[in-house]
Amino acid sequence: MDESFQLRARRLLGKREPAPLDFSVLTATLAAKAAASEAARAQARAGAAAPAPADPLGEIVLGGPDWAEAASAQRGCFNRAEVKRRRNEP
CB burial readout 21-54, b (16+ within 10 A) else e: eeeeeeeeeeeeeeeeeeeeeeeeeeeeeeeebe
Which of the 8 DSSP states describes residue 3?
-
Compute the average pLDDT of residues 48-70. 76
Q: Is residue 6 part of a domain?
A: no
Tell whether 42 and 61 lie within a shared domain: no
Q: Is residue 68 part of a domain?
A: yes
Write the pLDDT tens digit of every residue in 2-14.
788 888 888 888 7
pLDDT of residue 6: 84
Q: Is residue 87 part of a domain?
A: yes
Q: In the structure, what pLDDT confidence band is assigned to residue 29 with cuts at 50, 70 and 90?
A: very high
pLDDT at residue 30 above 80? yes
pLDDT at residue 52 above 70? no
Q: Domain range for residue 79? A: 51-90
Claim: this prediction has a pTM higher than 0.75: no
Tell whether 38 and 68 lie within a shared domain: no
